[in-house]
Structure formats: C-alpha cells, structure tokens
Amino acid sequence: MSEQRVVFFHTLGDTHLERAEDALVFVPPSLVGVLDGSHPIIDNSEREPQSPTQRLVSIGVATCQMADPSTDLRSLVAQINRRIRETMGNGGSEDQAVFPSAAFALGRLTAEGGLEILQGGDSLVAVEFSDGSCLATPNTVFKHTEECQEAVRGLEPGSREWHDVRARVGPAIQRRINKPGGWPMLNGDDAVEHYWLHRVFGRGVVRRALFFTDGLLPLSALKALERESNVKKLFKAYDDRGFEGIYESTKRHALAESKSSSNKRTPYVGEATAIALNLN
C-alpha cells in the first residue's frame, strides 16, 4: 500500500488534547481504518494522564501495528479484545455501562487485491464500487442515540434534572452493547462477532472507500447515508472539498442549529478522524 493510495484527516475540533479518543489506523502494506473511543456512562475511574477509554483505543492501535499483515480482520479484532482483557481486566462482558469501548471501521487489502471491511458502532465505511454504485455501512448506534436525546429533550443541558435523567436512562442503553437489539463495539467482549458488519469484495469490485468516525458529519447526515443517493453526495463532497471541507460544513451546521435553538449554548464540535483508500 503506497501513501499515494491513502488520504488522512484528523482534527481535535473543540476537544482538548487530553480528552482525545479518536485514532487513525494505517499499517502498510494492507491495513487502514479508524477507532473512536466511548467512555462509560458510569465512570468511576480515577483521574489519570491517560483515561481508560484512551488506553483501550491505544491497545487497539498497538495490536493493529503488531499484527501479521496477513491477519484477516475478524482475527485481528479477536486479538484486540484479548489484549484488552489481558491489560484492563474482564472487559465489557461484565457491565458495559462501567467499561469503555470503541467504535471501529477497518479495511484490509486482501492478497487477491480485493477489500475486506469490518465495522461496528458509529464509525462508518462508505464504499464506491467500480460500476458507480455506492453504499455505507449502517450506523447501528443511531436509534439508541435518538432514544437518549429524546429522554432529555426540553431539559437544560448540564442542569441537575438533565444529569438525573441521563443517569437513569444512559446505563440501560449502554448495557445493550454487544447484545441482541444493541450495537457492536470493541470492549474486550468476544460477543461483538455476532453483531459486527463484515464484507469481502473481490479484486476490481471497489474503486475506493472512506473510513470515518461520527464526528465528520452531523448526526442527521450520518442517518441519511442509509440512502445510496446521499452516499454519492458524500463522495462528491469529498472530491470537491476533501475531508477538511466536509468537517467545516459540519461545524457550520452545528452553529446554525445552535442559533435556531431556544438554548443558545456555544455549539460543540468534537474530533473527527478519516482515511480514504483508493483501489484504482
């Protein structure tokens, strides 16, 4: 894999460096992708230079870097989960609401010249095929995010009532990770293999693919990628403006939403990480 075939993007946005939880995966000759850490809704960890969520993401990246280049993605994620358990304890199989996790979108060039992808959570993969058609992997977190947002709708963010509702609703939602009706995440629990999305495309089938964390696009735009027409618009936006331009549009969207809302809080735009892989 030459560097000419990949394009990287990472921004902290409004996220302070000590809170950064995104990570880029780029391991020549065959592995690319992104990881996006998610802190537990019940966080009893002590203040440390590196949070448990950051440590989990670091384990994921390090495992990718040390893996044999021929390792298929399902075996790679099994290795990541094993390392999480070895380093951080039993992992999220005990209680997903108190253990960190990470969304993932990984790609591997196969020995035959095709593309293997493995995805879970709200880090996504958009694929453009050689025949011009497109698809994006599903955002399996979306309906759960909506449920949490609906529970606090109308409440002042940061208020005592807002925190009370989140403390009641949030753990129940987070405990759906790697469970039926929930969504897949890396957290040391091998049950993720029952819920991730895995695809292998043969040589010449895929023209290019974008791997990105959820911070790249507004939530509504992530949802809209269920339609092929919007995936094609994403690739056009990438061609016209690159990842930087797409992220700037996301920032403008957040500002416009803030101005139209009754709550005039300063809009927050978090970090985003993305990588493009060209197979031509």
Beta strands in 44-173 (DSSP E): 101-109, 115-120, 124-129, 134-136
Q: pLDDT tens digits, residue range 62-120?
A: 999 999 989 999 999 999 999 999 999 877 777 888 899 999 999 999 999 999 999 99
92-119 in b/e form (b: 16+ CB < 10 A) is bbeebbbbbbbbbbbbbbeeeebbbbbb
**pLDDT for residue 266:** 59
Report pLDDT for 268: 66
Q: What share of the chain is helix, strand, coil (3-state, %, to 5)?
A: 40, 25, 35
Q: Can you give the pLDDT at residue 91?
A: 72
> What count of other Cβ atoms lies within 10 Å of the Cβ of residue 41?
18
Q: Which amino acid is at 267?
A: P
The confidence score (pLDDT) of residue 47 equals 64
Q: Tell me the whole-structure pTM to 2 decimals.
A: 0.92
d(C-alpha 191, C-alpha 198), whole Å = 14
The pLDDT-based confidence of 213 (bands split at 50, 70, 90) is very high
113 Ramachandran zone, left/alpha/beta (phi>0; psi -120 to 50): left
Q: What percent of the chain has pLDDT over 70?
A: 91
Q: Cβ(254)–Cβ(268) under 8 Å?
A: yes
| Each residue's pLDDT tens digit, 179-211 | 999 999 999 999 999 999 999 999 999 999 999
How would you classify the pairing of strands 101-109 and 22-27? Answer: unpaired
Range 51-58 average pLDDT: 94
Neighbours of 2 (CB within 10 A): 8
Q: What is residue 260's predicted lDDT score, i.e. its pLDDT?
A: 65
Name the token pair of 101: 């996790």
Please tell me the predicted confidence (pLDDT) of residue 280: 78
133 — phi, psi (to 5°)?
-75, 165
**Which pLDDT tens digit goes with each residue over 237-274?**
999 999 999 999 999 988 887 666 655 555 667 899 99
